[in-house]
Structure 1
């Protein structure tokens, strides 16, 4: 029979309990805690206290135990220990695509913070597939990770309600996009505000026809960035031209094709500036612009920075998010829950920063 929410069996628990009683916490064929106790002339409980850095052991006794451990080459069986404690000693992280610099920086920061806590990091990419998201999250929870941090692909998270009602459940923290149907700690970038800043910057340089090249409108961040761009246009007294709102550019190749299409519009409808709503889209836009004479290129501001953006012939202006800060806040929220924090779930929004490098400062031609 499985223990709800953890996927452990009674057989496994019985086996480990027997190991605890015998003191056999080392791997088969290797020195055990019983061997350490015998060599040091102490009880199994004393060895356990020293191994787990618990108080109540005299300094001289602890030194004897430590010397016996070093002499015998004893190592603790971490798998058995984690199962006895009910957790895997790991965090689970679900992101969209580890190859994307934004998500790789999230993962790197979470990994560093987990390492500082003595935890491993288990990472999976769901690639905007809600079914894959659900599969990864539930697999992590069944393996009893200590907490799950996730960038959701779907917009229905009621499948986690049962998990969240389990006693002692693993904390779940959402990143980059909010949960739908549940209430948990959430850390977001300011997608709407950042997009608004980008378009305001283009308007300030004289642009009135600004194309917004964005991901699928089923993606929450894409919708937020279109909304922010529309806010800026309306505040400037400009129309939001549906022809210049171009969704569906999920990959760089899609974005390149979309930019070529809008630049092929008749002169009176052609945009003089582009706002590209994520770093993959910006890369596609740069490819579409490379064959144009520099004097004919539209202005460009992208959302999210990307490697070498500042090294191009005309460096790319961007609205830069702070993925490391987002990851830090999410990990801290998870560890606070593990330490007993019972306050209401929090929603934290991390501001963006406009980085003007040249491409966004072109004036209309």
Structure 2
């Protein structure tokens, strides 16, 4: 299935309505010679002015290729790309008013921090006093004013990344493109720089397209997130909606750490009640799920039940309560604020997030229940979500 987003705006932008920093991909493909499938497959999306859009997905999903087409570093095989209503398929990178920040910083080792930040402005023949003003202002924003005379070899990884960001900001482009800019930083510095980037984008209000394979970065930074797989958009949504209403099994499994638990089974109807069942359990479903199955476009019997670790309820010992099943603790992981308990239910290994004060040991018998209003059902044949509360 192909997913098209905000296509109603594509026509108006193509007709030339002014939107500073707005971007429109109109059914864009990227095909490489000798490859059996497109690297980017029918990418159709409008990015609003001032938006912080994150492209996320596993390696090879097409996210960096999409970014490079937007930058003009990769040719578009077919489709149309617009910036502020201007057709830019064949516009050179230097004429797109776009600044790109790379994973490897790409600083000139023989130039000082000041000279690295100022380089793009010098190439555009910006007045000397304007260059000095912009560089100092950007250095102040990024808290690197004390580093302006240093060379890159004298900087830490986090400082180098700030200089690379400063070079992009100083140009004052319409659009920032960032290709995994934090991947070379340690965990503490990544968290700190994430916060700085969010504040910077909020202050500058520039359209930003950010590529990452880290779903934590995606969830904490993006105003909207595009999840990609095999060159195809799987879902576009705000972070909370993406987490709460994943469009399919791939999105449900990719977003969230640890990932969502999945159980295969069938849906059965007994009079007016619906049940999920497999060899290990039989669960009575809330009425809302019955309505979803009734309203589904087709009758679905074989399903995948999805439930996140925080929505799994564990209690010591076995239980005869309705919608409860008995399992064995396989192992536990203590992370400080939380503990993750792995429970064996037949062939399934279920993960539950628990209070670390409740201690479980390998081999313990536990009763397992789900927060029934938080579970998801996916069609086993298509792996797409069945219904939603908005249906």
TM-score computed with the length of structure 2 as normaliser: 0.25
Tell me which protein shows more strand as a share of its residues.
2
